[in-house]
Structures are given as C-alpha cells and as structure tokens.
C-alpha cells in the first residue's frame, strides 16, 4: 500500500514539475469568499480515518488550500464530508474576518461541497437521524441561518478538492489542477504565473 502511494507521488511530481500557482488579472471579484471541500471515507486501512481536503478562493484566485487527516473516525461518507466542510468553514471564516479587518466590511463566506448529505446536515439544526455524529462540529449549523455562511453544491466531476482525497489518473489530475489555478509555468520557467 505504501509503495503504491510513493509511486503515485513520484508520478505526480514528475508530471507537474513545471506547475505553479497562476494569479491572472481579474476585476473586483465581489464579496464572496468560497471554500470548496471534499473527503474520502475511511481510506486509511489501519486507522479507518478519513481525509479532508479543500481550497479557498476569492474570484479565480486560490488564497489557501488544505489536506489533512480527520481527528475522528467517521461512520458514514456523509459524516466524513461534514467534518471536511467544518474544517473548510473555519478557513473561510478566518479569511472573511481578515478581509473585514482590513476594510472589506461586506465580505461573506460560502461552503461548497459535492455531498448532498453534508449539505443537508449543514442546513438543519442538530444531528437529525445521524446518531454517531460528533456534536462539536455542529457549530457550522449556527452560522448558516445567521447568513455568516452560505451552502452551495458543486458537481463531483468539477470538485478540485478531489485532488487531496483520491489517487486520480493523469488526465483528471491535470484537469483539476487547472480548476484550482495550477498550470505549467510559461516557457518552462519556475516563476509564478502573473498576467
């Protein structure tokens, strides 16, 4: 298993050696900071813990990204997705408060996921029928009715956060890299793509 992961990592690094973060010119992207999250479910064969992955954008620019193991064992894929959304919500709210602190008073946050179960859990109060949910993650539910966070859907095929959760083939990896602003640097240079 570990040899397979190492092989995948080496292939990825060789295939994306000339990639860089691209920050193309954009008009004022408005007041919405968007977090896109995804999760695998119990992929670690030893601990059965899931992985949370996501990235935060303002317009077309990726401001932050994360990929980390979850602290608890999720007993369903929807629960794992909810924990990923909670981590993403914390990152989004931090950036919203940072923007407000420097003068962008109208900034709002949005959590985007491809999981309908997670969206359902975020938009209600309490655990509902999910009996094994760690309730400390329900703080996100309080922010949705107060309009501090919006909840939105993204098709699974277009979810760039998928990069941090699964082993993907080369074609899909490159397509999702473009989605999150990673692209080959111009003329093979190692400088950031700014235009």
Question: For residue range 34-77, what is the model confidence (pLDDT) as tens digits?
Answer: 999 999 988 777 888 899 999 999 998 999 999 998 988 888 88
Instruction: Give exposure, 42-62, as e/b (b: 16+ Cβ within 10 Å).
Output: bbeeeeebbbbbbbbbbeeeb
Of 115 and 126, the one with more pLDDT = 115
Distance CA 161, CA 51 (A): 11
| Residue 67 near residue 53 (C-beta atoms within 8 A) | yes
Token pair belonging to 177: 């890299």
The answer to which of 14-18, 105-109, 128-132, 185-189 has the lowest mean pLDDT is 185-189
Residue 191 has pLDDT above 70, yes or no: no
What pTM was computed for the model? 0.84
Angle, helices 170-179/2-15, rounded to nearest 10 degrees: 60
Angstrom distance (rounded) from CA 137 to CA 86: 6
Question: Residue 132 above 80 pLDDT?
Answer: no
């Amino acid at each position: 298993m570990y040899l397979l992961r190492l092989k995948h990592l080496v292939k990825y690094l060789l295939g994306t050696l000339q990639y860089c973060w691209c920050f193309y010119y954009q008009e004022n992207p408005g007041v919405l900071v968007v977090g896109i999250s995804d999760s695998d479910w119990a992929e670690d064969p030893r601990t059965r813990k899931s992985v949370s992955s996501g990235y935060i954008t303002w317009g077309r620019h990726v401001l932050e990204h994360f990929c980390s193991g979850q602290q608890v064992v999720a007993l369903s894929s929807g629960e794992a997705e909810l924990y990923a959304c909670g981590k993403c919500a914390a990152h989004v709210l931090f950036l919203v408060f940072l923007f407000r602190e420097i003068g962008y008073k109208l900034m709002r946050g949005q959590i985007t996921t491809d999981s309908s179960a997670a969206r359902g859990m975020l938009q209600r109060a309490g655990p509902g029928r999910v009996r094994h949910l760690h309730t400390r993650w329900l703080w996100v539910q309080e922010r949705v009715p107060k309009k501090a966070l919006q909840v939105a859907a993204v098709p699974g095929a277009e979810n760039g956060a998928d990069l941090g959760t699964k082993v993907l083939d080369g074609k899909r990896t490159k397509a999702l890299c473009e989605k999150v602003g990673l692209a080959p640097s111009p003329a093979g240079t190692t400088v950031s793509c700014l235009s």
